[in-house]
Every structure is written in structure tokens, then in C-alpha cells.
Amino acid sequence: MEFGRPEKDILLIDHTLPADGRVTAQVLSAGAAERTKFHVGCAKWGRKEWVGHLYPDKTPEKEFLTEYGKRFDTIEFAASFFTRPDRESMVRWLDRVKLAGNDDFMFIPKVSKEISHISRLENTGELLKDFISAVEGFGPHLGPMLLQLSDSFGTKYFERMKNFVEQLPKEHRFFIELRHENWFSDETSRRKVFELFREYGVGTVITDTSGRRDCLHMELTTPDLYVRFNGNGEEHQAHDRQRVDDWAHRIADWKGRGLKNVYFILSQTKELDTPALAAYAIERFNEQLGAGLKSVVWNP
């Protein structure tokens, strides 16, 4: 089944944000951060459906990234998950963003599935080194990296995970998305894995999707929040916005307790409405949290 797709009526699902995780209470205890930096964006830039709606009429595909960069500061870069990245391609995309004149733009590359899904973190030292060397082509626009693990990568792989995390280079920041249900349902494994991430300064991804509420673990292992928010769109748009409002309330609390960075990435099964939901999140975060993000400019 498609990850996170709900098997029952969305409105019958409890979308309440759970209480803070145990590790969060340890990590966020140092008082308010001097400044919380916000990064809000989408998981795609190249949607033809956005032309005439978000992008100007008749925008050619090769200009989508530049147009995206004029409107958002962050992209979760999934292409590097599907195809092994090369530095030259990264530099070409960086050039497209430079045309947007957005000095704050950040690429968050998703680690190649060769590493996460095929090798499953085993003997991946050289692959990871090559991956990092390639995405360093983004230069100062390189953000943290997202490592998503398969929903078949369960707690029996803890030692493999530990070896991998121990060897991650300290000069880059990583956020790990866990999907196998045992990481959340087995209390011992849950505690061990989040403690491991905290010890090595690796962030966690909190996945907010209707069909897998267990992934909403609310554990921060560094003073940074990375949310992958999957909206349902269409007739559920108001409900999606309520869920964003709930996040704004929680972030306000965490901001007062030392939260340093917020990465809030939005997607939907049908991506047509994703920019509108992202624009709503930006407005809410600006109004309620003083995020200081620029408002999204729509096609006039």
C-alpha cells in the first residue's frame, strides 16, 4: 500500500498531535533560542499543473526551478533519491536558483535509495562519500540531508543503524525518517534509537500523514524540527489547514524552549493544491511565530 494512504475515512482519524516524546523533554530544556530559523517548502518543483496558477502562464519546464526559487526558500530534493547524483547536475540546478536571486534558498537532498533501500545502510561508506561529494555542488545552498528508511527496515537492524550513524560525517547534518512500525510500538527500541540519534547529533523526521499516525512520534533528538506534512487536499483543505494550525501552536511552545530550526515540508497525493497549503503555513508561521518568511507570490 502507498505509504501513509489512509484505509478509512480521513475524518474518522484522530489527527491530534501527541504529547512530546521523552527525548524532546531532554533536548528542549535550555530556554528560548536566540532565534528560530524557519524553512518551509514543497517536495517538488516541477509540476506542470502549477503553470498559470503558481508559475506565470507559459513558463517552460526548464524555468520551473527558477520560478519556484522566487517563491519558496526550501526544496526537499527527491531526485537524488532515485538517481545517483553527480556534482555537475547539482551545479546546474544551483545556477537555476541563482537566477531567482534568492540567496536564502536551501536544497535538502534525499539520500540515494542505493544507500537506504538497496544496501540498507550496510557497507555504504563509499556510496555515502560519493553522494555527499555530489550534493556539495549546491555550495552554500546545501541544507541538511534527509535519509528515509524503508517501512521494511525494522528494529532488527538496530546495530546496522548504529554503525551507520556512528560514521556519519560531523560537518554535515542529517535527519532520519523511520517508517517501520516497530520503531514506534516497541518502547525499548524506540528509546534506544532516539537516544542513539541524540547522542550523535542526528535529527529525526516527524512524518505527519493520515494513514500512519504512529510516525508522529514527537521526538526531537536535536533542537531542530523536521516535519514531512502530507495533506489530503481537495475537500479536506480546511482540515489540512487546521492541522497546520496545530503545528504552529506546538512550535510556539518548542520555540520558547530552545528550538533552533524548523524544516516544514509539505506534499499531497494530488500536488495541485500543495503550494496553497505551503503558502498558508508560511502565513501562519509569520503571524504566530514571527518566522519572517516571504509571502508566496501567485501568478497575477
Partner 1 sequence: MEPFEISALVGNKMERLTVVPQNDAQEQSEYDVYLGSRKARIWTDFSIMGLEWHSADLIAEDTLRNIGLAIEGYDA
Q: Which residue, 80 or 189, has its beta carbon nearer to partner 1?
A: 80
Continuous H helices in the chain? 22-27, 64-71, 79-82, 87-99, 113, 125-135, 158-166, 182-185, 187-200, 237-255, 274-289
Is position 58 an interface residue for partner 1 (rule: CB under 8 A)? Answer: no
24: cell is 524532546
Query: Number of residues in contact with partner 1, rule: CB under 8 A?
Result: 30
Q: Which residue, 96 or 236, has its beta carbon nearer to partner 1?
A: 96
Residue 191 backbone dihedrals phi, psi, to 5 degrees = -65, -45
Q: Which residue, 61 or 103, has its beta carbon nearer to partner 1?
A: 61
* C-alpha triplet 276, 278, 281: angle, nearest 5°: 110
Is position 96 an interface residue for partner 1 (rule: CB under 8 A)? Answer: yes
CA distance to 77, 278, 287, 294, per residue, from 290 (Å): 26, 16, 6, 11
Is position 269 an interface residue for partner 1 (rule: CB under 8 A)? Answer: yes
Report the b/e string of 134-159 with b at 16+ CB within 10 A.
bbebbeebbbbbbbbbebebbbebee
Query: How far is Cα 277 from Cα 282, in angstroms, rounded to an integer?
Result: 9
- Report, in Å, the least distance between residue 137 CB and partner 1: 12
β-pair partners for 203 = 175
Q: Which residue, 23 or 265, has its beta carbon nearer to partner 1?
A: 265
Is position 86 an interface residue for partner 1 (rule: CB under 8 A)? Answer: yes
Is position 152 an interface residue for partner 1 (rule: CB under 8 A)? Answer: yes
Is position 59 an interface residue for partner 1 (rule: CB under 8 A)? Answer: no
Is position 65 an interface residue for partner 1 (rule: CB under 8 A)? Answer: yes
- Residues of span 4-43 touching partner 1 by CB under 8 A: 43
Among 74, 189, 267, 274, binds partner 1 (CB under 8 A): 267
Among 79, 100, 196, 272, binds partner 1 (CB under 8 A): 79
Among 15, 20, 100, 114, binds partner 1 (CB under 8 A): 114
Query: How far is Cα 66 from Cα 102, in angstroms, rounded to an integer?
Result: 9
The residues that touch partner 1, with contacts defined as CB under 8 A, are 2-3, 43-46, 61-62, 64-65, 78-79, 81-86, 89, 92-93, 96, 113-114, 117-118, 150, 152, 267, 269
